[in-house]
Amino acid sequence: MPVSESMNLAMMLAESGIIDNAVHELMLRPQLIMAAESNPGIKNAMKDQIMKWRGQVQQRITKVSIEERFQQEIELYQEASHWDADHFVQHIHTVVKQLEGHSAFYFKAKSLLEKDHQKHNPMFQSYFCNQWYQYLAQALNDAQRNELEQHKEQLLADLYQRIETMRQMEGVTEAGDEKRAGRLWDMAQASLTKSDVTTLKTIAAFLKKNNGLQEIAEKLGRMANEVDDPNRERVRAEELKLVEERSDNVTDDIVGIHESDDLSKLLPNEAMFLAYPELEVVFYKHLVDKRLMNYRVQGSQRKLRRVKAYKRQTKQVEQDKGPFIVCIDASGSMNGFPEQCAKALAYGLMQIALAEDRDCYVILFSTQQITYELTKQDGLSEVLNFLSYSFHGGTDLGPVLDQSIELMLSEKYKNADLVVLSDFIAPSQPDEMMKRINKLKENRNRFHAVNLSKYGNPELMAIFDHCWSYHPSRLGRLLKWR
């Protein structure tokens, strides 16, 4: 057998269909079918995961042949198959001795060599090597199947874990969104305890009760599309528009008296001509001549009119939405209701990020910074770690703004939304910080602030594009939770 053929032996076995059979068997598992049919997003995510596993396991089992136990035997096989007949007969006993304890072919080879009359047959070397090849191929095949079974069991355990996690998350996340369900499946590798599920359900219920926070989160999610792109040219276009016009036929105000023939606006004393038969003809003469005294009225009415204006072209593709960078003030002054609001709003932004295929980073800041990536593969673990963090320390906004600015200068954070959640009881930032922020604003990055206190520093909040205040009274909060 040629050298190249023997070296490709493991690859041929890996591509013989055993992996496709394993994938087919996985797809037919009832638990996986039920999970896939529950949501198209889960179905696509599960399929992508299995196909990725297929590629990984194919690479893994092809490496079985380069393990020491097979590599040495393959090298011996290649060497022996290229000897001439005399050299083969002289040295084959030494080769077989090296197979003892390492090769399934050892006992078969020993029995073939015991028949001395066959060793001098011109076809003996070819027959011996063919038998060896078959044993070697079968040993590789068995090793690959064992390797495949181990990986398949690991994959099944992971899939079942994700199904269980998705079931536990049913009361925590909104159902029906395909993208959100698909990305949540990618994050569902973490095993959730009852305490974890309770924590998630509590924060989800808090967000639902405080619908003002949910409205802020949804507005933040839409803003990436509302930005005015300076790269788009302005074109002149006509559109129908309601405009107000002054009109003498609209009775908004009486502005004077004039001569006319409008009987609906007739002055009362003009009707006195009709009371006397001899003066009635005077009334009709004034009517024909439009000389009856009438009230003069004036008002505004709305009309549809075509107006010409310049506006941005809208034929370009919708802009890609960058990630959310959520900076949360974790100082001691945020304890209590503001801390709950900050965590709930960050959780709401994570939900929006999942649905819109965006990333979501949370940076907790006080006297130091702690970063959580809520939408990565083990994002649920990150979410739980974030929700369990207790706020303490002081407020130091400068370093976290520096860190965020550095992130937004990279390509990955283009068109990102920076959201700062704080009570903003802190000093104003220096002018140099404002210059750096304004430069990023020109590159379509947006800066938002959510003020969770009535005592925030107005000058500090002035550096943001949009500011929301959310600090309902204690009575209002009690009414929400009734």
SS3 432: helix
What pLDDT score was predicted for residue 474?
A: 57
What pLDDT score was predicted for residue 2?
A: 42
State which CATH number among 3.40.309.10, 1.10.10.10, 3.40.50.720, 3.40.50.410 fits the domain covering 211-226+318-480: 3.40.50.410
CA distance 80 to 97: 13
CATH 3.40.50.410 location in the chain = 211-226+318-480
220: nearest Cα among 398, 357, 346:
346
Per DSSP (E only), the strands in 248-377 are 253-260, 292-312, 324-329, 360-365, 369-373
How large is the angle between the packed helices 194-209 and 211-226, nearest 10 degrees? 80
What pLDDT score was predicted for residue 317?
A: 42
**Two tokens at 464?**
């943001």
Q: Which amino acid is at 475?
A: L
What is the tens place of the pLDDT at every residue in 106-126? 888 888 888 766 667 778 888
**Two tokens at 218?**
């949804």
What pLDDT score was predicted for residue 327?
A: 92
DSSP assignment of 88-103 equals: HHHHHHHHHHHHTTT-
What pLDDT score was predicted for residue 1?
A: 41
Among all chains, which residue has been given the structure tokens 């939408």? 375
What pLDDT score was predicted for residue 244?
A: 61
325: nearest Cα among 369, 287, 288:
369
* Rounded CA Rg of the chain: 40
The answer to whether 349 and 220 are in contact (CB under 8 A) is yes
Among all chains, which residue has been given the structure tokens 């696509």? 44
Tell me how far CA of residue 225 lies from CA of 351, 420, 466, 468, in angstroms. 18, 20, 15, 19
CA distance 422 to 420: 6
What pLDDT score was predicted for residue 177?
A: 59
What pLDDT score was predicted for residue 243?
A: 61
With vertex at residue 30, the alpha carbon angle to CA 23 and CA 47, rounded to the nearest 5 degrees, is 40
SS3 393: coil
Kindly give the confidence (pLDDT) of every residue in the chain, 482 residues in length, as a single tens digit, with 9 standing for 90 and above: 444 444 455 555 555 577 788 888 888 888 888 888 887 878 888 888 888 888 888 777 766 655 556 777 888 888 888 888 888 888 888 888 888 877 888 888 888 888 766 667 778 888 888 888 888 888 877 887 888 888 888 888 888 888 887 777 776 665 555 666 777 777 776 677 778 888 888 888 888 888 888 888 888 887 766 655 544 444 555 566 656 666 666 666 787 888 888 888 888 888 888 888 878 888 888 888 888 888 888 777 666 666 565 555 544 445 567 889 999 998 888 888 888 999 989 888 888 888 888 888 899 988 788 888 888 776 788 888 888 888 877 778 888 889 888 888 888 888 888 999 998 888 888 888 888 888 888 877 889 999 988 888 888 888 888 898 887 765 444 334 33
DSSP assignment of 164-204 equals: HHHHHTTTTS-SS-HHHHHHHHHHTTSPPPHHHHHHHHHHH
